[in-house]
């Protein structure tokens, strides 16, 4: 489904991602881990078209998207979340979700203003589904800024449900209990290069991962 081949991103003399080969099969939950500065976020930004690629390629469902801008990646079905929460605090939970799903599929319905005022059809039904999925329906009219941190990050516990709905997930996370408990396969980066890949059990037993990620002798 997703194929990275020789993917590289250099910032001057810094090789943030250096010759990365990485693939994701449809329907998988794959972890991407590594110490701070290992290249995880840069890799995600390259996949989503945020950064231009220095070398290598990105393919999605057999289509070369190496030079595709973010809006084209989104239209193809590639979406991401961010470590830092970015909400419209003065809008309600419902309104935040409405803005978030303002994708190309829904823009054709009535246009941005038309959907905001009239709000019929698929766009509104999508928001209702998202509210139910995230267990935030009771907070639909609450200002987003009033949500607790746990409520703002609640989707972390919905990852398996995403898989059951046919979604494919690449999980970048520092909480190892979550990564080991939910992923089927994990790739480990260090200094922009992939140093290991395997099942959670294989990664836990990998001495190179222990040394690079947590320090010599530490347990993953």
In a domain, 48, yes or no: yes
| Predicted model pTM | 0.74
Look at residues 129, 152, 175 and tell me which one is the last residue of a structural domain: 152
Nearest Cα to 119, choosing from 140, 139, 99, 144?
Answer: 99
Q: Any idea which of 39-43, 151-155, 156-160 has the lowest mean pLDDT? A: 151-155
3-state secondary structure of 13: coil
Taking only the tens place, the pLDDT of each residue in 49-103 is 999 999 999 999 999 999 999 999 988 999 887 766 667 888 888 888 877 766 5
Taking a C-beta distance cutoff of 8 angstroms, is the pair 2, 43 a contact? no
Same structural domain for residues 120 and 216?
no
Taking only the tens place, the pLDDT of each residue in 12-32 is 999 999 999 999 999 999 999
* Residues 157, 182: Cα–Cα separation, whole Å: 10
* Residues 63, 54: Cα–Cα separation, whole Å: 19
In a domain, 62, yes or no: yes
In a domain, 158, yes or no: no
Q: What does the block give as tokens for 6?
A: 């020789």
Domain residues for 96? 88-152
* Residues 93, 99: Cα–Cα separation, whole Å: 10
């Amino acid at each position: 489904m997703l194929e990275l081949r020789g993917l590289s991103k250099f910032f001057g003399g810094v090789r943030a991602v250096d010759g990365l080969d990485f693939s994701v099969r449809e329907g998988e939950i794959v972890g991407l881990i590594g110490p701070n500065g290992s290249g995880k976020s840069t890799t995600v930004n390259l996949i989503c078209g945020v950064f231009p690629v220095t070398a290598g390629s990105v393919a999605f469902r057999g289509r070369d998207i190496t030079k595709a801008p973010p809006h084209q990646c989104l239209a193809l079905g590639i979406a991401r979340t961010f470590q830092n929460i970015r909400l419209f605090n003065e809008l309600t939970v419902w309104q935040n979700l409405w803005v978030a799903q303002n994708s190309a599929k829904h823009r054709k319905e009535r246009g941005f203003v038309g959907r905001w005022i009239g709000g019929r059809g698929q766009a509104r039904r999508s928001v209702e589904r998202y509210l139910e999925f995230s267990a935030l329906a009771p907070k639909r009219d609450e200002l987003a800024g009033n949500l607790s941190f746990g409520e703002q990050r609640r989707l972390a516990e919905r990852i398996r449900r995403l898989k059951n709905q046919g979604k494919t997930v690449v999980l970048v996370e520092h909480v190892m209990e979550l990564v080991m408990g939910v992923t089927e396969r994990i790739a480990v980066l260090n200094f922009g290069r992939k140093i290991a890949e395997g099942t959670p059990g294989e990664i836990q037993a990998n001495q190179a991962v222990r040394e690079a990620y947590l320090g010599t002798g530490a347990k993953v």
